[in-house]
Amino acid sequence: MSEYQPAGLFRRTEAERADQMLSWRRGDQAFFASGACHILAWTFVETHPDFQIYGLLPRGETGFGHIIASDGPWAFDHCGWTPTAELLQAYDAEMVLIETDLETFCTANNHRRPEQYAFSPWQRARDYIARHAQVA
């Protein structure tokens, strides 16, 4: 197993934040690490009902640093499958269960809603999940 790569390594540039086409053209891992992690988590949970959606709250911060799906021992995000303990260590964060729907989450946390992307992100998320279907 390779070392986990925190989402911060894939931060969008100011140009990518301003231009949705530029942001959309990033590779899948970068796209789902920074800017669409919540889309990936919600899509994952649709087909893995034993998983729940969590926000990672870095110590000393007030906002989520990343959104993941987890069943406890395992987490799924832009890196595919990662032991949850390893992922939490990479972020120095605690997991906070997100119990709202996507629309409510996006509004409350200033995250982009699916219709605000250059194209619909749903199929891109399903394709990414399918490429990482097996646990490492």
- According to the model, what pLDDT value does residue 73 have? 96
Model confidence at 136: pLDDT above 60: no
Residue 1 in any domain: the answer is no
Counting residues of the chain whose pLDDT is more than 90, the rounded percentage is: 70
Q: Write the pLDDT tens digit of every residue in 87-134.
A: 999 998 999 999 999 999 999 998 989 999 889 999 999 999 999 876
Residue 104 in any domain: the answer is yes
Q: Which domain holds residue 92?
A: 7-131
Q: How many domains does the chain have?
A: 1
- According to the model, what pLDDT value does residue 59 have? 87
Which tokens is 16 given? 């990518």
Burial, 110: exposed, middle or buried (Cβ in 10 Å; 0-12, 13-18, 19+)? exposed
Residue 109 in any domain: the answer is yes
Return the number of other C-beta atoms located less than 10 Å from residue 82's C-beta.
23
- According to the model, what pLDDT value does residue 135 have? 55
Residue 136 in any domain: the answer is no
- Indicate the average pLDDT of the chain: 91
Residue 84 in any domain: the answer is yes
Q: Is residue 22 within 8 Å of 12, Cβ to Cβ? A: no
Predicted confidence band of residue 26 (pLDDT cuts 50, 70, 90): very high
Question: Scanning the structure block, which residue is given the tokens 């000393």?
Answer: 60
Residue 11 in any domain: the answer is yes
Q: Which helix (H) or strand (E) holds 102?
A: helix 102-109
Q: What is the mean pLDDT of residues 57-85?
A: 93
CA distance 60 to 100: 23
- According to the model, what pLDDT value does residue 134 have? 66
